[in-house]
Amino acid sequence: MNKNNHKLRAEFSPETRFEVRPVPPAPFRATQETEFERLKNRLLTETLLATAQPGLNAPIRRAANEAAALAWVTFYPLLVFPTLFEEKIRTAVRHAERQAHIYANSPELVVA
């Protein structure tokens, strides 16, 4: 058995207090909302009018909504949205064209 009976004095630093404030995921931008909606509607209208295929209407609208949702949670949604919009539109059009190609080239699967 150990017979060391040394008394240790505990020394504590002065108590440190700090305040923790949660950071919001995106800043409050109620004033930008109408301007953002106007931008989204203008770009969407231009894209839909330039699109010759009516079958792309729904995928383009869906892509615009996805781009708007992603852009809105950034600090600069009006700056980010046009690029995201173009990127999502290209992806949606490519996907719709691929689906149409698959549909056209596999009639035996469509009938079954």
Separation in Å, CA 25 to CA 40, 72, 78, 79, 94: 22, 10, 17, 18, 32
* Six token digits for residue 107: 């009639």
Quote the pLDDT of residue 108: 75
Q: What is the mean pLDDT of each run of 10 residues along the chain (112 residues)?
A: 74 80 65 85 94 90 95 91 96 92 80 60
Looking at the whole model, is its pTM more than 0.85? no
Handedness of CA 97, 99, 56, 72 (dihedral sign): negative
3-state secondary structure of 11: coil
